[in-house]
Amino acid sequence: MVFRPGKNDRIILTNHSSAVVEKSGRALDAAKGTELKNGDRIRVALQQTDKTILLEYLA
């Protein structure tokens, strides 16, 4: 997973891992890049273990 700066205080998330990224309860296809704005929350479900990472973007 890679986070890059975007325009207007946004972040571009690119995911090339096996982890599933969810936003608002729906799985994202972040392979091409997904834009995150202020207040967005994502959930990363790790495949190798039964663990979850929650992230919130605060600009």
Transcribe 3-20 into DSSP letters.
EEE-SSS-EEEE--SS-E
Looking at residue 16, its pLDDT comes to 92
Q: Residue 8 — very low, low, confident or very high, per pLDDT cuts 50/70/90?
A: very high
Looking at residue 59, its pLDDT comes to 86
Read off the pLDDT of residues 10-37 as tens digits, 9 standing for 90 and up.
999 999 998 999 999 999 988 889 999 9
Report CA dihedral (3, 39, 53, 30) to the nearest 10 degrees: -50
